[in-house]
Every structure is written in C-alpha cells, then in structure tokens.
Structure 1
Amino acid sequence: MTFSIKPLGSEGVNSMLYEDPSKRANLYLDLYLFLGISLSNGERWRQIRNFTFRNLRMFGFGKNSFEEKVQLEVQNVVEELKELNGKSLDVTKLFMNAISNILFSIVFGSRYEYNDETFVELLGIVKETLYLITCPWGQLHTIFPQIMDHIPGPHQKITSVSEKLMSFIKEKVRISQETLEPASPRHYIDSFLIKMEKEKENPNSEFNERNLVAAIHNLFTGGIDGVTSTLRYALLIILYFPDVQEKLQMEIDRVIGRDRIPSINDRADMPYTDAVLYEIHRFCDLIPLSGPHMATKDVEFRGYFIPKGTEVYPLLFTVHHDPTKFSTPYKFNPNHFLDENGKFQKKEAFMAFSAGKRACPGESLARMEVFLFVTTILQNFKLTSQTRFTEADIAPKMTGFINAPIHYELSFIPR
C-alpha cells in the first residue's frame, strides 16, 4: 500500500480536503473495520453520519436543551472546585468526568455521579482505549497493521480493550431495546433502534446493531479526550498569560456579569474571548495530522500524481503555522483572530476540526463546551499556580496522534 504525506500549507490542505475524491483509509480495530461514523465509507458512511447529525440535534446539538446539559456539568465542576478552598489539583480527571457525562446524557439519556462505580470503570476503559490507540505503538499499528500484528507490544491489547467498551455499549443497547417506546424516543440509541426496525426489510440499509455500537464507540473515543485536552491547554495558557486572564474576566464581567450562567449566545458579544479560544485551538494544534484519507481514483493534485488507493495524511500543522496567514505562527497571539477594530475575524486557515466532508462531526459540541467551561470558570475563579511555567511548558507536546499539554496543578481562587 502506498502512503503519501505532503506538507501543503493552508491553501493546499484546504483544497485537498474540500475538492479531492477520497474515503477514510483503514484504521485500527479489525473487528469493527469500516463500521460506524469514523471508519466507514461510501453509502454506509453517508447514512450513519447523516442520521447521527440529525438525531444528535434532536437530543441536544443546536438546541437549548443541549446547552442546559453542558451548563449542568459546568456547574457541577464549579461546585467541586469551590469545595477545594483554593487547594491545587490536576483538572484532568474532573474535566474528563464532565465531558463524558455530556455525551452519556445524549447517547444513553442519563448522566452518572462522578463517584459511581460503573462510571469510574467505564471511564477507565475509555482512557485505556484512547492511550492504546494514540501511543506510538498504536500509531504504528494504525499505519502498518499487517506488520504490527506480528510484533509484541501494548498495541496488541487494542482490540481486547476496545471490546470491553463495545460490551458496555451493547448492554446499554439491550436495555434500551427492552424498554423502547417507538413513539417516544429518549436518546440516540432509541432513535437508532427505531430506524433499524423501519429499515429491516431494506437490503441496502446500514442500520444494524454493529453500526450502532461502532458509531457510539466513535463518539466516545473522539469526543472525550479531545475536549478534555483542549480545556487543559486553555487553563495552562491562561495561567501563563495573566494579562489574557485579566482581559477575559473584564469581558465576562461586562457582557455576562456575576449573577447569571454564561450562555453560548453571549459569544457574539465577546470578540476577545472568541479570539482567545480560536487561538488556543490553533496554537495547541491538538491534532496536527488529519485522519488518513484514501484516494478513490487516480488524482492529479498540484503537480503530484496520487494513484487510486493511496493513503493521504493532510498535515494540519502546516495550516496553523502558515506564516502567510498568521503573523507570529509559533507564538500565542489572540490578535491573529482580531481585526484592527478589535472585532473577531475568522480565518480560512483554521482547521482545528479538519475540513470538508470528513470534518469532525462534533465541532459544534466541542466549541460550545470549551466556551461554556472557560467562561464559567473564569466568571467564578481567578486561576493561580505555585509553579512558574515557561514558554516551553505551554508549547504543544506530541504524545501520539494528539498534542497533549503537560500535567500541571493549579488553584481556583473564588472571585
């Protein structure tokens, strides 16, 4: 199999992702290869993706009810932080609990208490799955599965650990099936099961239990760690730049005040906050290498001949560090997203969620979560730390498929 990795910059990557005929290349987990949202192609991918978008909107995306789910978890986080009385902590676990519960409430229809035994066990499985997929061994297994299948290492556990998560999801599907009321779907699983029943006589239907389980697996593995890492980066950067923290809190106090919960609707009146959050996404460059695409036919692209079947990995790093689009590409600079009048300006050279038809389906969810978590936390607390961070500490660190922030502790001092 041929592999093609080309650092094309913002215009080249944008053109590749929007214009070139491609499908998703083969990824890990042979047991569910080509299933769900992330790993499927063609008609299967179209059916499952469109259904998922439509039904996630029904149970949250783009609706007030969904914002309320996020706000509930943010308030739980705020209460947990208040109980610390200024004691420092690493927020990784707390943020992961909250982000997971938001997804669970949409997919399963209910949330868990953070100390619930089932919840703790489930998150342990999710964390191990993510580690195995994104560690160097897991990356090699993704790219060279035929070779790595015969080499010992932690990647050999990917399928067995992922199957634990699949088993949990299957049990949730079974319970939903037994209590299903077709006229009153309660969550994403119910809607999928209803669609399965309607399409059971359609030989071309992709609505079956294997695709349902795989789609939920995709949502969990793609929607938890990314937002958790972004929030950890956000607080680290805000700690490092006290002037940024001060300006953010001034805008929060002016637009929202201290007496009500922040809303996603506030974002339109908060250009500096918007610019800071976009710049955090750009600077931390969480996913510097886009997911693999595969050419579905021979393609001539900007002087390169790409044969059918070639795996192409667009380098999003070259987009976010394009000196023709960003004046200081290797520095954190919110002015990258502000015009001369201090108004927010979005740029085409921003692909934190990739682009084109294969762009991250959870972008609107992730952006809402980051905005509400950051604004609510800064509304209630001043961030401090006994650690004196350096510029190297906030620089992106490649730890696998993603750039993860360093582990650090900070204190939340009530305002």
Structure 2
Amino acid sequence: MIFQALFECLDPSGWLLLGFAALMLTDVLRNWRPSTFPPGPLALPFLGNVFTGMDYKSVENFTKEYGPVCSLRQGSERIVFISTYRMFKEALINQLDSFVDRPVVPLFDEMFKGLGIGASNGYPWKKHRRFINTHLRYFGEGQQSLENYIKVECGFLCEAFKEEQGKPFNPQYRITNAVGNIISSVEFGHRFEYSDVNFRRFIELDNEAILNSGSPFAQLYNTFPSLFKYLPGPHQKVLANYREIENFLRAEVQKHQEQWNPDLPRDFIDVYLAEIDKLKEDPEAGFNIESLVVTTLDLLEAGTETSSTTLRWALVYMMHYPDIQKKVQTEIDNVIGQSRQPALSDRPDMPYTEAVIYETQRMGNIVPLGFPRMASKEVTLGGYTLPKGTMMVTNLTSVLFDQNEWETPNTFNPQHFLDSEGRIRRRDAFLPFSAGKRACLGEHLARMELFLFFTALLQRFTFAAVPGEMPSLEGVQGFTNSPEQFRIIATPR
C-alpha cells in the first residue's frame, strides 16, 4: 500500500529526485570509511576528493591536518598517503613485502599496460627485475665499463658547453641528451649526437609527458578514465606523446630483430630478444616484444629524467651559491687538477663535492611523491588497517624535509652530509631513490653519473646567472619536480 501510494503521488521529477537520493545513499554506504582506515577530508558523493590537489605541496598541507598516515578518495578509490621518515621506514623497510605491488594508474597504463619492470607485478616483475639486474651489470662492466661510457659523454658535454663561448644558453637538452646517452649505449648499443633530431624529439615528447602527467586533468583522467578519454586536455597530450615515443622505440627494436645474432649480443635489446626465445615455453614470465618495448622505455626514462633534472638543479644551486661552487672547484683542483678527467676513484677523496650532490638531490626533491604502490596483503600501518589492494603514495618530500631528521631542512646546506671532520656522513632519511623492493634499480648508475658529470662540468667551467635572469628555486611540478627553464653563462676556467 505504501509503495502504491508513493507511486501515485510522485511525478517524473519526483522520481528523478528519489532516484538521485537513492544513488547518493548507495555511494555513501559503499564508500563509508571504517574507523580503522586512515582519516582524511570529507569526500563528495561520486567524486570523492577530486578537487583536492594531488601535487606534493597540497599533500603536505592536508597531511599536516590529518597526520602521517591519511587518505583521500578519488571517485570510489581510496588512496593512502604516508609522511615522515618514521612512517616511511615502517611501511617500506620494516614491512618489506607489504607494498611490492603496483596499482593500475589509467594514464600510465595506456602505455605501460602492466608490463616491463615499472608497472608489472608478481612473477613477471620478479623475472624482469632479476634479468635487468643481471644484464645491466653485464653490459656496464663486461664489455665496457659504465664509467668509461660516462667519461666519454662528459667530454662531449663539456665541448658542447665550450662551443657557447661564454654566451647565455639553455643547457636543458644538452644535459638530458648526455645523460640519456649512457642508458642508450647500454640499451641500443650506441649514443645519439646532440644534433640528432629523432632523439631530440624523444626528449621533448618525454619531458612534455612527464610535466603534463602532473596536471589536474591527468588526475581527473585517472579517476574517471572512461569519461575523460574522450575529453580534450593535457592528458590527451600525454597519451599522444607516449604513442609517438612507442613508435620511436619499436623502430629501434625492429632494427635489432633484423640484425640479431644470438651468438653475438651487442646490447640490452639483443639479450632481451634471446630471453624471449629462451622463455617461449614460459609465457607467464612476460618476455615478449610488447614487454621489450615497455621495458626499454622504463629504463630510458628512469635512466634519463631524474639524473638530468638533478644536474639542472645542481647548476641552479651553484648560481645561487657561488661560494659553494668555489669550494667544490677548490676540492676538484686539489684532488684532480686540470690535466685529467675526474674518475670514480676520486670520489672518496672529495667529500665536499659529494655532499653538494647529495644536498642537491635532497633540496631538488626530484620525485616528491614517488610512484604509487599497492598493498599486496592486509597491512597495519600507523595503527590503521589497509585492506589488500589499497593504493599507497609515499610523500617523499616529508622525508627529505623532515624537521626531526635535518638540522636546517629548508636551507641548501651541504653540511647536512658532513661530520665534524669533514667526512661524508650517512643520513638514514636521505632516500631520494625511495626504499624497499621497489626502490630505483638505477641508483648505482645515477650516483656514478651525478658525480662524474657534475665534477667534470665544474672542473672545466664556472657557472653564473645571466644578469637579471637568476633562475627560481621554485620547481615546476609535473610527475617530477624540475627547475623552470633557465639560461646560464658557462665561463671556461
């Protein structure tokens, strides 16, 4: 009787309102946050917290209000953020196996498809990680040392800077090309000239994709992919860029397939092709041409973006702190001189230079939120319960600027990494490459590159800002935190 009376008294608009109310009630009940789940701001029905910024500064602000373990809701998915070194250590070091999986991030899944080393999980990820660890080491040390690759490239980069004849120039693409040539030599068996238009195009496409992937539209795409897939915005540029990048990499892979000799592997792609043949009876391992393309991109991006961005930050800080630049050059002159190139064997004798590089990584805050992880099982963290499958984002900014870990967290201060006798001091909260089983595979290579490139540049040049153009210390936020475009004057020493 009640339903019949209700049916008779409601007109179409009433039914629409009733239906909307029912949907809202369903959404609230389905997404109700249990008391055991990390707290966070009030979420809107259907939308969640899509209007809460996902950049690292916004994350820093709401974690101050809700604590070092808190959450946001994007659509119907809850994302947990962890902050401070203490919580970072609990999640990624003390519970080593709890966050080894990657969640599906729709914008990146369009390109990476859950393949390769960065986005895969389980058995394929373990097989790829072991394979990459083995064969990057082989091609770095077995045929020609990674150090020699870098030293040769340092010579090319210094010559390119010298050709500017002390006039203002933007160093971004030369630095990115130089750093990218190291992993390119390992992957493709050759480097790219700085004038190579195809590799320059790859660098431009990748830089643009990384920048746009941090935009609000990209976050909306990740929340409502089926809707925003058809709407214009920066996310479409990311997808278009990755499609063109994929074509560039497929061409490299195809050339290797045509010239492949399994008895004479020349580079990483050749040994991966051999692994495809070797594991053809084990398709679950995920070694195929699609995975090869994605893995090649994984390594190329990881081996280029963070190190080249760190070097650009290093030049910015040297312009802002000429006294620190002079101290580095004095150490270089005392240990190396001007008659030979810097070598890795010099590093133990150059603690101040090393401390400046470390402080650049800390202050530059290159990957402020890392890449998302996912709970591989039910986890207790900070007194809260995270169900299996919960997405977790590490607020690395809060670790690198933790007031409980750093004496002057907001100041560029190389003394953070030096003891009272001027020797390198290990800091537990210095984790620019993250931690745990998903920590950056290229940390060893990156540390080599940063030392050799930075030392070679300051051995050969003194860097100064163009008058009236001192670059900002505020970064440009994309997926990484990079300096604004700047020009520099490199005066030969």
TM-score of the aligned structures, taking structure 1 as reference length: 0.94
Match of 1:181 among 245, 255, 261: 261
Over 3 Å counting, the alpha-carbon distance change for 1:61 and 1:370 in structure 2 is farther
The equivalent of 1:411 in structure 2 is: 489
Please report how far the alpha carbon of residue 229 of structure 1 lies from its aligned counterpart in structure 2 after TM superposition: 1.4
Over 3 Å counting, the alpha-carbon distance change for 1:386 and 1:173 in structure 2 is closer
For 1:286 and 1:142, locate their aligned partners in 2 and report how far apart those are by CA, in whole Å. Answer: 22
Over 3 Å counting, the alpha-carbon distance change for 1:198 and 1:25 in structure 2 is same
Does the CA-based 8 Å contact 1:297-1:307 persist in structure 2?
yes
Question: Per-residue CA shift, 1:194-238, capped at 9, x if unaligned?
Answer: 111111122433211111111011122333222221111101101
Please report how far the alpha carbon of residue 314 of structure 1 lies from its aligned counterpart in structure 2 after TM superposition: 1.1
For 1:139 and 1:223, locate their aligned partners in 2 and report how far apart those are by CA, in whole Å. Answer: 25
Q: Does 1:257 align with 2:257?
A: no
For 2:433 and 2:416, locate their aligned partners in 1 and report how far apart those are by CA, in whole Å. Answer: 18
Match of 2:87 among 12, 16, 28: 12
Stretches of structure 1 that go unaligned for 5 or more consecutive residues are none
For 1:144 and 1:225, locate their aligned partners in 2 and report how far apart those are by CA, in whole Å. Answer: 28
The equivalent of 1:25 in structure 2 is: 103
Match of 2:379 among 286, 296, 299: 299
Q: How many residues align?
A: 413
For 2:185 and 2:222, locate their aligned partners in 1 and report how far apart those are by CA, in whole Å. Answer: 31
> SS of the residue aligned with 2:462?
strand
Counterparts of 1:325-404 in structure 2, within 5 Å, are: 325-387=405-467, 393-394=472-473, 396-404=474-482
Please report how far the alpha carbon of residue 399 of structure 1 lies from its aligned counterpart in structure 2 after TM superposition: 1.4
Percent identity between matched residues is 37
Over 3 Å counting, the alpha-carbon distance change for 1:239 and 1:362 in structure 2 is same
Q: Does 1:50 align with 2:106?
A: no
Does the CA-based 8 Å contact 1:240-1:389 persist in structure 2?
no
Does the CA-based 8 Å contact 1:353-1:359 persist in structure 2?
yes
The equivalent of 1:97 in structure 2 is: 177
Q: Does 1:198 align with 2:278?
A: yes
Please report how far the alpha carbon of residue 327 of structure 1 lies from its aligned counterpart in structure 2 after TM superposition: 0.5
Instruction: Give the counterpart letter for 1:184 in structure 2.
Output: L
> SS of the residue aligned with 2:385?
strand
Counterparts of 1:135-154 in structure 2, within 5 Å, are: 135-142=215-222, 144-146=224-226, 148-154=228-234
Does the CA-based 8 Å contact 1:29-1:158 persist in structure 2?
no
Match of 1:80 among 160, 168, 186: 160
> SS of the residue aligned with 1:215?
helix
> SS of the residue aligned with 1:313?
strand
For 2:447 and 2:370, locate their aligned partners in 1 and report how far apart those are by CA, in whole Å. Answer: 18
Root-mean-square deviation over aligned CA pairs: 2.0
Please report how far the alpha carbon of residue 260 of structure 1 lies from its aligned counterpart in structure 2 after TM superposition: 0.7
Which entry has the higher C-alpha Rg, 1 or 2? 2
> SS of the residue aligned with 1:204?
helix
The equivalent of 2:64 in structure 1 is: none
The equivalent of 2:204 in structure 1 is: 124
Q: Post-superposition, which runs of at least 4 consecutive aligned residues in structure 1 deviate over 6 A? A: none
For 1:403 and 1:49, locate their aligned partners in 2 and report how far apart those are by CA, in whole Å. Answer: 26
For 2:241 and 2:428, locate their aligned partners in 1 and report how far apart those are by CA, in whole Å. Answer: 38
Q: Does 1:159 align with 2:234?
A: no
Does the CA-based 8 Å contact 2:90-2:381 persist in structure 1?
no
The equivalent of 2:78 in structure 1 is: 3
Over 3 Å counting, the alpha-carbon distance change for 1:169 and 1:83 in structure 2 is same
Does the CA-based 8 Å contact 1:139-1:401 persist in structure 2?
no
The equivalent of 2:187 in structure 1 is: 107
The equivalent of 1:287 in structure 2 is: 367
For 1:62 and 1:354, locate their aligned partners in 2 and report how far apart those are by CA, in whole Å. Answer: 28
> SS of the residue aligned with 1:60?
helix
Does the CA-based 8 Å contact 1:279-1:333 persist in structure 2?
yes
Stretches of structure 2 that go unaligned for 5 or more consecutive residues are 1-75
The equivalent of 1:277 in structure 2 is: 357
For 1:185 and 1:137, locate their aligned partners in 2 and report how far apart those are by CA, in whole Å. Answer: 43
Match of 2:249 among 145, 169, 181: 169
For 1:62 and 1:148, locate their aligned partners in 2 and report how far apart those are by CA, in whole Å. Answer: 47
